[in-house]
């Protein structure tokens, strides 16, 4: 049976003191959550070690990782370093990494491999930009991202992935895909996984929705049969609202 997950991506927000206060608040609220969802937070790299010390009911994720294992790569952070700080998940291929840092599917496949080799779980992000949706290419784009980014994996490796669908046109814009649009794409993603790996593995894969999900619309989005939770941006910076999303199942 697949997991329900709500993961908070803090992006480049909060100084350490603010991050510690937010993490403490989220962890405290998570102790009394009413859903069975796994709660994950992804603070900036600079906060990970200190925040890990405060967490009992929340899992820790990193927002990115290097595409190399180690070596002369100034400014990069390896999966081994992240694991040593207590991270269990790594967000890979977020639309902002794809757009601003030109990470393509080949680079992301390397990151996925390193993540899995270290025993960490990738949250692999896929999704289309507005011109691609308007041109009715959104299914092709998402299928290509899956095929080139993660379909090289064995079934045993693939079952450690979490997939996050991000309609890029809905990230930080206040525009949200309708519940029907979200379900349509999540169902399609599951069908593509089933074509590659079979229905049993597809049915057990957690697929998150990421795109202006907030306390006010989470329940409607999560009611869809193929939406297993959310990758939350701005709303994850408010502890009460984030836990409202966690409890939306």
- Residues 60-73 pLDDT 10s: 999 999 999 999 99
Average pLDDT over residues 139-159: 98
Q: Are 33 and 247 in contact (CB under 8 A)?
A: yes
Residues 78 and 66: their CA atoms lie apart, in Å, by 5
Q: What is the dihedral of CA 81, 87, 88, 94, to 10 degrees?
A: -90
Burial class from Cβ neighbours inside 10 Å (0-12, 13-18, 19+) for residue 241 reads middle
Domain boundaries, the chain: 5-246
* CA-based nearest residue to 2, from 42, 38, 33, 30: 38
pLDDT interval class at 202 (50, 70, 90): very high
pLDDT higher than 80, residue 104 = yes
Contact between 176 and 168 (Cβ < 8 Å): no
What is the CATH architecture of 5-246?
Alpha-Beta Barrel (3.20)
- Note the pTM of the prediction, 2 decimals: 0.97
Q: What's the whole-number mean pLDDT along residues 34-51? A: 98
Cα–Cα distance measured from residue 87 to residue 222, given in angstroms and rounded to the nearest whole number = 26
**DSSP one-letter string for 76-118:** ---HHHHHHTT--EEEES-HHHHHHS---HHHHHHHHHHHHHT
What is the average pLDDT score of the chain?
A: 96
Contact by Cβ (8 Å): 238, 21: no
- Report the candidate in 81, 139, 145, 62 with the shortest Cα–Cα distance to residue 107: 145
Catalytic residues: 94, 166
Q: Is the pLDDT of residue 212 over 90?
A: no
As a whole number of angstroms, the distance between CA 179 and CA 152 comes to: 31
- Per residue in 165-185, pLDDT (tens digit) is 999 988 777 777 899 999 999
Percent of the chain with pLDDT over 90: 94
Q: Please choose, from the candidates 76, 77, 175, 61, the residue with its C-alpha nearest in 3D space to the C-alpha of residue 129.
A: 175
Tokens 């009611």 — which residue?
223
Report residue 202 as tokens: 């597809």
CB 71 within 8 A of CB 38: no
């Amino acid at each position: 049976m697949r997991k329900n997950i709500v993961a908070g991506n803090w992006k480049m927000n909060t100084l350490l003191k603010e991050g510690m206060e937010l993490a403490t608040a989220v962890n405290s609220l998570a102790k009394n959550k009413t859903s069975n969802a796994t709660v994950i937070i992804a603070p900036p790299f600079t906060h990970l070690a200190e925040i890990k010390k405060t967490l009992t009911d929340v899992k820790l994720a990193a927002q990115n990782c290097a595409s190399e294992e180690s070596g002369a790569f100034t400014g990069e952070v390896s999966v081994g370093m992240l694991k040593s700080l207590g991270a269990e998940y790594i967000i890979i291929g977020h639309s902002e990494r794809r757009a601003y840092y030109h990470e393509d599917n080949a680079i992301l496949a390397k990151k996925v491999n390193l993540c899995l080799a270290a025993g960490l779980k990738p949250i692999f992000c896929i999704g289309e930009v507005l011109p691609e949706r308007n041109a009715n290419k959104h299914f092709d784009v998402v299928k290509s991202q899956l095929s080139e980014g993660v379909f090289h994996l064995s079934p045993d490796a693939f079952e450690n992935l979490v997939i996050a669908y991000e309609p890029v046109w809905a990230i930080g814009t206040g525009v949200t895909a309708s519940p029907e649009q979200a379900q349509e794409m999540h169902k399609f993603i599951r069908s593509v996984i089933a074509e590659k790996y079979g229905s049993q593995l597809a049915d057990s894969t957690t697929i998150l929705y990421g795109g202006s999900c907030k306390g006010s619309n989470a329940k409607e989005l999560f009611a869809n049969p193929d939406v297993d939770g959310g990758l939350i941006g701005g709303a994850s910076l408010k502890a009460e609202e984030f836990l409202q999303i966690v409890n939306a199942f």
